[in-house]
Structure 1
Amino acid sequence: MIRVGVDVGGTFTDVVLERTRNGEQEVVVTKVPSTIHDQSEGVVAGVLQVCRAAGVEPGEIDILFHGTTVATNMVIERNGAEVGMLTTKGFRDILHMARHKRPHNFSLQFDVPWQSKPLVKRRNRIAITERIMPPDGSVEVALNEDEVRAAAELFKKRGIDAIIIGFLFSFLNDAHEQRAKAIVREVLPDAYLCTSLEVVNVIREYERFSSTAMNAYIGPKTALYLKRLEGRLRDNGVTAMVRIMQSNGGISTVAKSSEQPIGLLLSGPAGGVIGGRWTGGHCDTGNVITIDIGGTSADISVIQNGEQRIKNPRDTEVAGLPVLVPMIDIDAIGAGGGSIAYIDPGGAFRVGPRSAGASPGPACYGRGGTEPTVTDAQVVLGRLDPEHFLGGDLSIDPERSKAAIAEHIAGPLGMDVTTAALGILKIINNNMALAINANSVAKGIDPRSFTLMGFGGAGPLHSVALGEMIHAKDVVSPLQPGITAAMGLLVTDLQYEYTRSVVAMLNSADAETFAKINAVADELIAEANAQLDADGIAVADRRFRKIMECRYVGQGFELRAEMPAEPLREDNVKVVIDNFFDVHKQQYGHAFRDQVTEGVTLRVVASAAVEPLRLPSLAEGGRANPDDALLHVRKTVFEDGVPVDTPRYDRTKLLARDTVAGPALITQHNSTTLVPPGFLATVLAHGDIRITRV
């Protein structure tokens, strides 16, 4: 069995190949520059390169896992499809009015993204005569099929081929949406067409309409990308199954991802969180704060007791727009190796979020970049050696870094280049520390009992400084920091989620209510089984979890509460209620256990485990600052600004229980781990490194 994971970042595309031969696993990793104009070019280049490194033919790959930022970039850059919408008469402007929220309450110049950059222009939102009524989904006004056909003809005339249908209360009765879809399909047989119930079958018309609009906005280009990727892989001899990383931490098929690309909006960073959880497992720590620092962004998440957190539905948004799909709780900020340092018009010293990206890249790359970046600061301080950068695959020029910092920062501020470089790192580290606290302390997590795990190409250069700033218990540098997100793809389960609105007072539920909830759960499980049948998953390998999204009566949004595996009954409904109270206490610091709990949405999570990635144990070493791994000694600048002799160690030559005392740099192909003075790095059984203060 040969499996490949490919994670596309803003600067580099990371690739890992895992092969099982004679009962033993072999892991080969590589990095190639990302091709932003068409990510599939970089993906295929990376796959071919890792195959050459592993000595295998592309056709021998059995399965390829892919994390992509195609969908996310489309929303951020606002270059998706032109979308048409059919909705209930009188509700044409739901997407404009939204929830009447002000993104910034006290700003006079705030931007409202759903109004300034709508996913569906008003002229393309056509109102249709129809009306479904609560609470039973009865038809108050029949669907006017002539209006639907006329609207479809108008869309055809305008050249719109991405169309959504979202009617009021359709989650109670989807007959009108399905009939309208059939009519539109007759007029536009090749259109990218979806109903709100197919995307998010839940209560709340604004969030449901917006999520469906998002699905259609990114749908055509995402489907085209995935089709082009499969074609380019086949043209290069790769005939393997392709699976795509989802925002919820699971993987899905190309067909399913093309139909519902809304599930890919956090595809890129999700692999890193899964990789961090897996690494924490074999480092004997279930409490981990992960920070994935690449070239353009830093993605932050928390793993508590070995489980990644799923965002509250009120927080699942992308570029300021609500997206009602499950997402791992990840915060992303514009901070990475390519983040540009500059003096703003007011004279303030800033770093990021603007990035030099893969092209032209930092000044030291010599590819046309002239502005100083975080990577340039690391080079000036002697923390990145030219001959060891990406194992020597990428040449860097320290003089270009010095010139860029001198011209843009040191000169204007009247300081020397070393001080300016230290200033760049202090600013970017403070930005990241604030973001870490927002994802941990502000959500009830005490970092003092957590391990900070820094990965991505730049993560281990910053992780000790960040660990000190947030008072983390210790710091871990994974075995392959620059490839951790790609490795996470190889330990991710196939996973789907199915939802249905089932509004019910749980405390006073009767037999009829329980029967209704259990019937919905059975229907969702049947849907999941149909999908798993199509994927060829054996019945014995399937797993199902039931979740009830609950709230107090009158509360605005819900929290996820685990349900019992068996049908819900009067004697076990308290399990759901107590789970809701516990989650509410963790999220908000209190729980009103004497109040009535309302179930709003039933969710079934269907999954199938993949073969786990197993790392071999290193040979025992137990050496202190081993000479066998020493490369050379060079001057390096740390926080005090004084250059000190700092040894470089080859990470591939370190053995289990070896220790390296700071100051030191531990180098490898895809990253460099910084061990400052006063810290000790200890190599763990599988090659991960734990760094603690002496």
Structure 2
Amino acid sequence: MNAGDSSVSGDGRYRVGIDIGGTFTDLVLIDDETGERAVGKVLTSQEDPSEAVEEGLLGLLDHEGVAAKVVRTIVHGTTLVTNALIERRGVETALLTTEGFRDAVAIGTEHRYDMYDIFIEKPEPLVPRSLRYGVRERVLDDGSVARELDEEQVRSIVAELRERRVRAVAVSFLHSFRNPAHERRVAEILAEEAPEITVSLSSEVAPEIREYERTSTTIANVYVRPLVEGYLLSLEQRLRRLGFGGSLYIMLSNGGTASVETACRFPVRLLESGPAAGALAAAFYGRAADFLEVLSFDMGGTTAKACLIEGGEPLTSSEFEAARVYRFKKGSGLPVKISVIEMIEIGAGGGSIAAIGPLGLPKVGPRSAGSAPGPACYGQGGVEPTVTDADLVLGYLDPDFFLGGRMRLDRGAAVRAIEERIARPLGLDPVEAAWGIHQVVNENMANAARVHAIERGKDPRAHPLFAFGGAGPVHAYRVARSLSVPGFIVPLGAGATSALGFLCAPLSFDFVRSLYGRLDDLDWAAANGALGEMEERGRDLLRASGVQEADIRVRRLCDMRYVGQGHEVTVDLPDGTLGSEDTDQITALYRKEYRRLYSREGPDVPIESITWRLEVSAPPPEIRLGDDAGGAEDPDEARKGEREIYLPEENGFALVPVYDRYLLGPGAVLGGPAVVEERESTVILGPEGRAEIDATRNLIVRWSA
């Protein structure tokens, strides 16, 4: 790839996706004129992730001969919000809520996520009780004002907040989603009296019914907002210094992208920013290869993520939990009302640390060695054994070709770490211990993926695995066999596929407004007004980002339920102005979706609407696959040598062929066992695997027996 004359013409033909992981920062550069792609990978800088972004971008652009000024767009995802909530590294935050309700965030819903745990541990609110203030005001559920806002009390509270050096304030009053006037007035007073304090209003962050969830979301948003603003502004400055003059967009949890300004204002929407890109990439490749139903499997250096792709699109949800006390126990985290791609994430990556558990058995994760010190084999001072160390001992990784040879691995250090911490205490040799680590992490990931699919009423055995990430292709064969899926797919450039996912994402925004009532007695004028207002706001945002009016897509939805139920079902709404004449059609749509979800008819009772949702988006960016077609159909021409790898079927090591992934062209077929290497990842093909390269250079593995 070379910019040629474009390095001085500024035609902006290049786009870059940047994925910051716990261990590595991945970058993908794509040329929109030719469809060519180039990837980069550097260790993540833990103190300031933007340093790794700058280092990686400089290296990638320099290697490809591309000037920063001809990069049109950079799309970036970050785990900053998630990590800040888990580690409680946000700023000192206060809560202003309706008098008498300051303890609602501590009481929650009184739901016990484990009925039989008498020592149950609930997540602590991000705001301590001493910083939760009750304000004299009251708005009723129809939006009428029962008690005017006591502005003098608010000013007194603000003075106290300044004395206590509070940096952020969440404002969440009862029923503010119906009438936000009091919240807005508090924001005005804060701007007058304490302009240095960052403010978030629940009527802007999450204007939905359910006070606890709405307040929790607003607190989380403002708690991390100064951190995100500082990071993104620093990143922008670094990019400008490099000569980048294009647009920087940030990935949202729902798979869309937004401007830096929007991301700074609503950082809670970035919670699943990084993982969402991987799901988008899996959906994109699946559609291109005519696999519309796949199980996305993204295993990087720190975590592994699984996500169901159906009809060529990842599943989404309007609810999420952050900072769970117990990773797999729903209800043990802080509720956040945002649109998010549904996935399951576990602490099982290449850097996940192996140890002996309390029962005397090996366990892997969730602790990770990260990028510093990293696995023992990195030679950076790490002494605890990790999954990467085990894979190296088993022969699955070439110590001289890690990251294409840019980083040499120390096999001796990996053996010592496994021997001292795992093998010797268990009376095993290092290879047996390494295989145990490898299998434990495989089963952990397979179990998580199985649970994720079954909880959504899906049979995981019907979905081929789509494996990517630096460690995903190494483990895909055993995970796929454990899940009994029909095979697995590995894209070209699998180690940086998540970064490509950022470039698949369209500009999009979603809005929500709670307006409840029975369908047979609904205020349709109010419902149409809410939908119209949300649509106009969305169109304004997209037009401001340069999207043409004719290209804007709108999707309208409503959360509905049978009267008396406690949970809703989301249904797509018909186009146009809605009215009482649409009641039968909307009812039929609801009943159809209810049957699809629960495989039975619902009760013969009226239906009520709860929350109205609207999504606006631009067309997804075009990415061409196959333009970099090359390689040979004869796999022998791609054979680069042989290597011994551990095969349990052989009860030891066996000599297998090693292939250069870049030299395998469409139509090439190879049988297992074998190793297929590229710079950022390695595919391990077991004895019962048969691999074929398709027209878009995906490696598709099916079972030969």
- TM-score bracket for this pair, using the shorter chain length: over 0.9
Query: Percent of pairs identical after alignment?
Result: 38
Report deviation, 1:597. Answer: 2.2
Q: Which residue of 2 aligns with 1:131?
A: 138
- Alignment-mate amino acid for residue 640 of structure 2: L
Q: Is the 8 A contact 1:351 1:427 kept in 2?
A: yes
2:36 is paired with a residue whose SS is strand
- Alignment-mate amino acid for residue 636 of structure 2: D
Asked if 1:262 corresponds to 2:276, the answer is no
Report deviation, 1:470. Answer: 1.3
Q: Which runs of 5+ in 1 are unaligned?
A: none
- Alignment-mate amino acid for residue 547 of structure 2: I
- Alignment-mate amino acid for residue 594 of structure 1: D
> Which whole-Å CA distance do the structure 2 matches of 1:345 and 1:317 have between them?
27
Q: Which residue of 2 aligns with 1:232?
A: 238
Asked if 1:378 corresponds to 2:391, the answer is yes
> Which whole-Å CA distance do the structure 2 matches of 1:84 and 1:548 have between them?
33
Report deviation, 1:572. Answer: 3.8
Q: Is the 8 A contact 1:290 1:302 kept in 2?
A: yes
User: Deviation digits for residues 481-515 of structure 1, max 9, x if unmatched?
Assistant: 11111101111000101111111222x246xx222
- Alignment-mate amino acid for residue 467 of structure 2: G
User: Deviation digits for residues 252-285 of structure 1, max 9, x if unmatched?
Assistant: 0000000000100000100000000001011111
Q: Is the 8 A contact 1:65 1:244 kept in 2?
A: yes
2:40 is paired with a residue whose SS is strand
User: Deviation digits for residues 123-178 of structure 1, max 9, x if unmatched?
Assistant: 111111111112x2111111100000001111111111201111111111111111
Report deviation, 1:296. Answer: 0.8
> Which whole-Å CA distance do the structure 1 matches of 2:318 and 2:597 have between them?
9
1:208 is paired with a residue whose SS is helix
**Which of 426, 445, 462 lines up with 1:432 in the alignment?**
445
Q: Is the 8 A contact 1:312 1:559 kept in 2?
A: no
- Alignment-mate amino acid for residue 173 of structure 1: N
In structure 2, relative to structure 1, the CA distance for the partners of 1:565 and 1:639 (3 Å cut) is farther
- Alignment-mate amino acid for residue 657 of structure 1: G
> Which whole-Å CA distance do the structure 1 matches of 2:307 and 2:600 have between them?
23
Q: Is the 8 A contact 1:447 1:473 kept in 2?
A: no
In structure 2, relative to structure 1, the CA distance for the partners of 1:541 and 1:211 (3 Å cut) is same
Q: Is the 8 A contact 1:618 1:655 kept in 2?
A: no
2:290 is paired with a residue whose SS is coil
1:437-476 correspondence to structure 2 within 5 Å: 437-476=450-489
**Which of 246, 249, 255 lines up with 1:243 in the alignment?**
249
- Alignment-mate amino acid for residue 248 of structure 2: V
Q: Which runs of 5+ in 2 are unaligned?
A: 1-12, 325-332
**Which of 361, 364, 388 lines up with 1:348 in the alignment?**
361
Q: Is the 8 A contact 1:316 1:327 kept in 2?
A: no
> Which whole-Å CA distance do the structure 1 matches of 2:584 and 2:497 have between them?
40
In structure 2, relative to structure 1, the CA distance for the partners of 1:576 and 1:451 (3 Å cut) is farther
User: Deviation digits for residues 465-490 of structure 1, max 9, x if unmatched?
Assistant: 11111121220001111111110111
1:13 is paired with a residue whose SS is strand
Q: Which residue of 2 aligns with 1:683?
A: 693
> Which whole-Å CA distance do the structure 1 matches of 2:108 and 2:675 have between them?
51
- Alignment-mate amino acid for residue 29 of structure 2: L
In structure 2, relative to structure 1, the CA distance for the partners of 1:530 and 1:619 (3 Å cut) is closer
Q: Is the 8 A contact 1:622 1:659 kept in 2?
A: no
Report deviation, 1:342. Answer: 0.8
1:53 is paired with a residue whose SS is helix
> Which whole-Å CA distance do the structure 1 matches of 2:372 and 2:147 have between them?
56
Report deviation, 1:670. Answer: 0.9
1:592-607 correspondence to structure 2 within 5 Å: 592=602, 594-607=604-617
User: Deviation digits for residues 56-114 of structure 1, max 9, x if unmatched?
Assistant: 11122111000111111101111101111111111011111111122322123322113
Give 4+ residue runs of structure 1 displaced > 3 Å after superposition: 315-319, 569-591, 617-624
> Which whole-Å CA distance do the structure 2 matches of 1:85 and 1:310 have between them?
30
Asked if 1:567 corresponds to 2:577, the answer is yes
In structure 2, relative to structure 1, the CA distance for the partners of 1:399 and 1:279 (3 Å cut) is same
**Which of 312, 315, 323 lines up with 1:306 in the alignment?**
312
Q: Is the 8 A contact 2:507 2:542 kept in 1?
A: no
**TM-score normalised by length of structure 2:** 0.94
Report deviation, 1:659. Answer: 0.8
Q: Which residue of 2 aligns with 1:660?
A: 670
**TM-score normalised by length of structure 1:** 0.96
- Alignment-mate amino acid for residue 470 of structure 2: G
> Which whole-Å CA distance do the structure 1 matches of 2:424 and 2:600 have between them?
53
Asked if 1:80 corresponds to 2:87, the answer is no
2:341 is paired with a residue whose SS is coil
Q: Which residue of 1 aligns with 2:401?
A: 388
> Which whole-Å CA distance do the structure 2 matches of 1:658 and 1:333 have between them?
34
Asked if 1:546 corresponds to 2:546, the answer is no
Q: Is the 8 A contact 2:208 2:512 kept in 1?
A: yes
Asked if 1:628 corresponds to 2:637, the answer is yes
Q: Is the 8 A contact 2:82 2:322 kept in 1?
A: no
- Alignment-mate amino acid for residue 573 of structure 2: M
Report deviation, 1:586. Answer: 4.2
**Which of 642, 646, 663 lines up with 1:637 in the alignment?**
646
1:637 is paired with a residue whose SS is strand
Report deviation, 1:622. Answer: 7.7
In structure 2, relative to structure 1, the CA distance for the partners of 1:509 and 1:286 (3 Å cut) is farther
- Alignment-mate amino acid for residue 343 of structure 2: I
- Alignment-mate amino acid for residue 14 of structure 1: D
Asked if 1:286 corresponds to 2:292, the answer is yes
- Alignment-mate amino acid for residue 627 of structure 1: D
> Which whole-Å CA distance do the structure 2 matches of 1:620 and 1:222 have between them?
42
Q: Is the 8 A contact 1:444 1:589 kept in 2?
A: no
**Which of 170, 184, 188 lines up with 1:164 in the alignment?**
170
> Which whole-Å CA distance do the structure 2 matches of 1:595 and 1:463 have between them?
48
In structure 2, relative to structure 1, the CA distance for the partners of 1:514 and 1:382 (3 Å cut) is same
Report deviation, 1:318. Answer: 4.5
1:34-433 correspondence to structure 2 within 5 Å: 34-114=44-124, 118-134=125-141, 136-311=142-317, 313=319, 315-319=320-324, 320-433=333-446
Q: Is the 8 A contact 2:463 2:485 kept in 1?
A: yes
CA-based RMSD of the aligned residues comes to 1.6
Report deviation, 1:575. Answer: 4.2
Q: Is the 8 A contact 1:245 1:251 kept in 2?
A: yes
- Alignment-mate amino acid for residue 425 of structure 1: H
Q: Which residue of 2 aligns with 1:534?
A: 544
Q: Which moved more, 1:53-62 or 1:593-602?
A: 593-602
- Alignment-mate amino acid for residue 483 of structure 1: A
> Which whole-Å CA distance do the structure 1 matches of 2:190 and 2:684 have between them?
59
Q: Which residue of 2 aligns with 1:503?
A: 516
**Which of 515, 523, 533 lines up with 2:525 in the alignment?**
515
2:370 is paired with a residue whose SS is coil
Q: Which residue of 1 aligns with 2:3?
A: none
- Alignment-mate amino acid for residue 239 of structure 2: L
Q: Is the 8 A contact 2:24 2:41 kept in 1?
A: yes
In structure 2, relative to structure 1, the CA distance for the partners of 1:232 and 1:664 (3 Å cut) is same
> Which whole-Å CA distance do the structure 2 matches of 1:164 and 1:261 have between them?
14
2:22 is paired with a residue whose SS is coil
Asked if 1:6 corresponds to 2:13, the answer is no
User: Deviation digits for residues 297-342 of structure 1, max 9, x if unmatched?
Assistant: 01111111112111253x5545310000111101111001111111
Q: Is the 8 A contact 1:544 1:605 kept in 2?
A: yes
**Which of 477, 492, 495 lines up with 2:490 in the alignment?**
477
In structure 2, relative to structure 1, the CA distance for the partners of 1:648 and 1:88 (3 Å cut) is same
**Which of 647, 665, 671 lines up with 2:657 in the alignment?**
647
